[in-house]
Amino acid sequence: MSKVWNERLNVIEKQVCSGTEGLHGTLDNVIAVDAGGGLVTIPRTAHGFSVGNYVQIAGSVSYNGVYKIIAKVADTFDIYATFVADTFAGTETAKTALKPGVDFQMIEARLHLSAVGGAVEDYTITLDSENGTAFDVVLETAAMNADADVPTLWNEKKRCFNSGDVLLFEYLNTNNKTWGLEVIYRIFS
């Protein structure tokens, strides 16, 4: 299948989030809450997500998928979903994700820690391909035990993704460093 990417018809978007927990982690062992108006409140302590971020929920009975965060407070975030009274076991995961829902091109992803990570943990960017698990791949990885800044410059690589692709950003952050993640991407119309 061929696609024509006309760079004159694109929009640059940005997603930012920060926190002291990991970029991914488990949901709290409590019930999802019907927030009204089609919104569901999901519990995750000190998640670091921002309004407008994408998050992938996995391992849940009722809420697996990628969602855009509509509202948030320190220990919960709201998504648009059909409410189901689901009590999380504390084993379900929420990962920082990017899935704009249209074809997109990564320009840059920058991770900054308040200090060198210290623990031997990797920061990874993984493709969860719309074509299935046979096409999933780790796109970038960086050991954070000796670094506080990871600029991942992709502009020269021209990595293009399909509307159903999901990019997952993971860093466990067991030393609870303050982190900031900025993802810049281009969507095509």
pLDDT of residue 139: 92
User: What is the pLDDT at residue 188?
Assistant: 77
DSSP state of 107: E
pLDDT band at 5 (very low <50, low <70, confident <90, very high): low
Residue listed under structure tokens 């709290």? 28
Task: Return the percentage of the chain with pLDDT > 90, whole number.
Answer: 54
Predicted confidence at residue 50, as pLDDT, reads 85
What are the C-alpha distances in Å from 158 to residues 49, 58, 114, 136? 27, 29, 30, 18
Task: Domain ranges for the chain, please list them.
Answer: 8-188
CATH 2.40.33.20 fits 8-188, yes or no: no
- Cα 55 to Cα 72, 97, 169, 177, distances in angstroms: 12, 5, 10, 21
> Does pLDDT of 168 surpass 90?
yes
- The pLDDT of residue 43: 93
Mean pLDDT calculated for residue range 177-185: 91
pLDDT on residue 102: 92
- Please write the tens of the pLDDT for every residue from 10-44: 788 999 988 888 888 899 999 999 999 999 999 99
Residue-averaged pLDDT of the chain? 89
Q: How far apart are CA 51 and CA 70, in angstroms?
A: 5
Residue positions counted in the chain: 189
Place of tokens 């019930």: 31
Query: Comparing C-alpha atoms, which of 162, 43, 189 is closest to residue 98?
Result: 162
Return the higher-pLDDT residue of 71 and 147: 71
Higher pLDDT, 187 or 7: 187
Residue pair 116/145 in contact (Cβ under 8 Å)? The answer is: yes
Q: So what's the pLDDT on residue 4? A: 65
